[in-house]
């Protein structure tokens, strides 16, 4: 589920930034459309690979090695799965996450199946009631408009009684008009529907529906789909009345008002006129005012805002958790796992146990020399006591000379057991500054041997 949550965070950042910028500055429609499409992509495409690039940029720019923060836990908890020859053992957190995943996947699959079946069934029933255009003159006019908009796919034209002008289909795009328009189809209506086909609005709305199915728990996904539906209608209206006189714009606006009163089909992945009064009024104002060209400063500001939003949203790559598989031939793990992992017990015999904190390959040699509660062991085996809290006082002005090694933390419990945590670390030989990195090993002993 970590991947889904990271994706929903990235997409939500893009959606929220769009809502804020569209309220404040209202960039050009083309920029806003690209913004919404990018948000849908962020909801669906993991960007985990960017993390290594960001780390590389940081290290090159700062000249320092990247270290992820380390958190100490007073109790043994974690997200893990242990596989033995006899059985598979999962932690409580792992089992809970698995249950959440099953619920999420079930709802997502049901939603996607519902949307798909609803679309194909209603589309099939609708086309059975329609009659295809046969007049060569009308088909020739439609074909000429299609070529003007550089649409390579053949577009079919149908008529149906009591319906709004709509466009359906992905592989075989189809325009369906009211029967009363037969023989006198307004050119702006055809241009509007053809623009939907050219802009791939139907495939993009399918993408938006897929986003909702995957992130059904996120309200921003529904806002994303709604915002795209409104924006694509405004873009198509601009294309429909391009080059028209004020009188032609008025007639087209009257057509929108009259056709918006027709009943909705509630057909997914289609484009048709909305009967929402506020949105119809917004479209009429957009039609009558005409497409206003944006100045260079406004376009540059819109592009800059989009780029900044993309960069900020991509920082969610650091929310991804690393998954590591550790293989060991230790007899303790294979023979005693079933005995000691029952009922959530997380201690395996008198040997050691590895949790989710392992972020590298298993170190086969355990730390045996425990001299202090907290200590640093360099690569030569020298042990230095580590002082933390008020006792730690590294020199700020020191020209640090860092040495690679391991930071070891030894915890002893009241029942006589102990835990030894080992982290990658670097220590300054001059002032004692300690830089703690990722956890590489945990050892749990039922009886402390140190």
Cα(207)–Cα(39) distance, integer angstroms: 11
- Domain assignment of residue 186, yes or no: yes
147 or 49, which is more confident?
147
392 and 259 co-located in one domain:
no
- pLDDT, one tens digit per residue, over 205-214 is 999 999 999 9
Per the CB < 8 A criterion, the answer to whether 80 and 97 are in contact is no
> Which structure tokens are listed for 54?
């960001």
Residue 374: partners with Cβ closer than 8 Å, 6 or more residues away = 385, 386, 387, 388, 407, 408, 409, 410
**Residue 356 predicted with pLDDT over 70:** no
137 and 264 co-located in one domain:
yes
407 and 269 co-located in one domain:
no
- Domain assignment of residue 124, yes or no: no
272 and 345 co-located in one domain:
no
**Residue 364 predicted with pLDDT over 60:** no
Mean pLDDT of the chain: 77
Per the CB < 8 A criterion, the answer to whether 211 and 43 are in contact is yes
- pLDDT, one tens digit per residue, over 1-55 is 778 888 999 989 999 999 988 888 777 888 889 999 999 999 998 887 787 888 8
DSSP 425-448: EEEETTT--EEEEEEEEEEEESS-
252 and 144 co-located in one domain:
yes
- Domain assignment of residue 12, yes or no: no
**Is 310 exposed, middle or buried (CB count within 10 Å of its CB: 0-12, 13-18, 19+)?**
middle
Residue 213: partners with Cβ closer than 8 Å, 6 or more residues away = 108, 111, 112, 115
**Residue 218 predicted with pLDDT over 90:** yes
259 and 178 co-located in one domain:
yes
Taking each helix axis from N to C end, the angle separating 246-260 and 187-198, rounded to the nearest 10 degrees, works out to 80
pTM, whole model, 2 decimals? 0.66
- Domain assignment of residue 357, yes or no: yes
> Which structure tokens are listed for 266?
């509630």
Cα(38)–Cα(208) distance, integer angstroms: 11
- 89 band by pLDDT with thresholds 50, 70 and 90: low
- pLDDT, one tens digit per residue, over 395-438 is 666 777 888 898 888 888 888 888 888 888 888 887 878 888 88
Sign of the C-alpha dihedral, residues 298, 299, 300, 305? positive
- Domain assignment of residue 277, yes or no: yes
431 and 327 co-located in one domain:
yes
Cα(367)–Cα(370) distance, integer angstroms: 7
pLDDT of residue 76: 39
253 and 384 co-located in one domain:
no
- Domain assignment of residue 88, yes or no: yes
**Residues of the chain above pLDDT 70, percent:** 76
**Residues of the chain above pLDDT 90, percent:** 14
Mean pLDDT for 368-376 is: 80
185 and 88 co-located in one domain:
no
Q: DSSP code of 311?
A: H
- 215 band by pLDDT with thresholds 50, 70 and 90: very high
Number of domains observed in the structure of the chain: 2
Per the CB < 8 A criterion, the answer to whether 90 and 81 are in contact is yes
pLDDT of residue 333: 38
Kindly provide the b/e burial profile for residues 259-294, where b requires at least 16 CB atoms within 10 angstroms of the residue's own CB: bbeeeebebbbbbbbbeeeebbeebbebbeeebeeb
- Domain assignment of residue 194, yes or no: yes
192 or 327, which is more confident?
192
CA angle, 408 then 410 then 414, to 5°: 170
pLDDT of residue 362: 35
Report the chain's terminal Cα–Cα distance, integer Å: 40
Q: Which residue reads 């589920």 in tokens? A: 1
pLDDT of residue 61: 83
- Domain assignment of residue 348, yes or no: yes
Q: Where are the beta strands (DSSP E) in 80-193?
A: 81-83, 88-90, 131-132, 156-160, 166-168, 174-178
332 and 240 co-located in one domain:
no
Per the CB < 8 A criterion, the answer to whether 243 and 76 are in contact is no
Backbone angles phi, psi at 390, to 5 degrees: -70, -25
158 and 262 co-located in one domain:
yes
280 and 146 co-located in one domain:
yes
pLDDT of residue 400: 76
Residue-number span of the structural domain to which 418 is assigned: 81-100+323-445
pLDDT of residue 336: 37
DSSP 206-228: HHHHHHHHHTTT-HHHHHHHHHH
- 327 band by pLDDT with thresholds 50, 70 and 90: low
């Amino acid at each position: 589920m970590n991947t889904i949550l990271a994706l929903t965070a990235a997409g939500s950042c893009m959606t929220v930034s769009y809502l804020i910028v569209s309220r404040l500055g209202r960039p050009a429609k083309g920029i806003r459309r690209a913004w919404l499409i990018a948000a849908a992509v962020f909801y669906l495409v993991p960007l985990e690979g960017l993390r290594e690039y960001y780390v590389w940029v940081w290290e090159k720019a700062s000249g320092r090695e990247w270290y992820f923060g380390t958190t100490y836990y007073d109790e043994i908890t974690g997200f893990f799965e242990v596989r033995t020859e006899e059985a598979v053992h999962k932690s409580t957190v792992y089992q809970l996450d698995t249950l959440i995943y099953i619920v999420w996947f079930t709802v997502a699959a049901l939603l996607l199946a519902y949307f798909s079946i609803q679309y194909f069934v209603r589309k099939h029933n609708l086309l059975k009631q329609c009659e295809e255009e046969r007049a060569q003159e009308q088909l020739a006019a439609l074909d000429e408009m299609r070529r003007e908009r550089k649409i390579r796919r053949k577009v079919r034209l149908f008529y149906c009684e009591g319906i709004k002008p709509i466009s359906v289909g992905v592989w075989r795009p189809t325009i369906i008009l009211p029967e009363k328009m037969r023989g006198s189809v307004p050119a702006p209506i055809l241009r509007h529907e053809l623009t939907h086909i050219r802009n791939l609005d139907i495939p993009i709305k399918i993408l938006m529906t897929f986003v909702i199915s995957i992130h059904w728990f996120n309200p921003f996904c529904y806002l994303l789909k709604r915002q795209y539906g409104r924006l694509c209608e405004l873009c198509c209206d601009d294309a429909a009345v391009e080059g028209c006189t004020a009188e032609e714009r008025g007639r087209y606006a009257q057509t929108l008002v009259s056709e918006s009163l027709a009943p909705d089909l509630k057909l997914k992945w289609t484009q048709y006129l909305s009967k929402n009064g506020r949105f119809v009024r917004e479209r009429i104002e957009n039609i009558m005012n005409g497409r206003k060209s944006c100045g260079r400063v406004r376009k540059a500001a819109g592009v800059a805002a989009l780029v900044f939003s993309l960069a900020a949203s991509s920082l969610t790559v650091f929310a991804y958790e690393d998954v590591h598989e550790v293989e060991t031939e230790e007899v303790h793990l294979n023979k005693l796992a079933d005995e000691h992992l029952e009922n959530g017990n997380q201690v395996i015999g008198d040997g050691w146990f590895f949790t989710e904190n392992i972020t590298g390959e298993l170190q086969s040699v355990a730390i045996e020399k425990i001299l202090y509660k907290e200590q640093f062991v360099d690569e030569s085996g020298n042990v230095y006591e580590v002082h933390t809290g008020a006792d730690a006082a590294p020199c700020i002005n020191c020209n640090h000379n860092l040495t690679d090694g391991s930071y070891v933390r030894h915890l002893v419990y009241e029942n006589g057991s102990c835990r030894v945590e080992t982290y990658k670390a670097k220590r300054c030989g001059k002032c004692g500054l300690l830089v703690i990195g990722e956890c590489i090993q945990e050892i749990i002993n039922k009886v402390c041997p140190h």
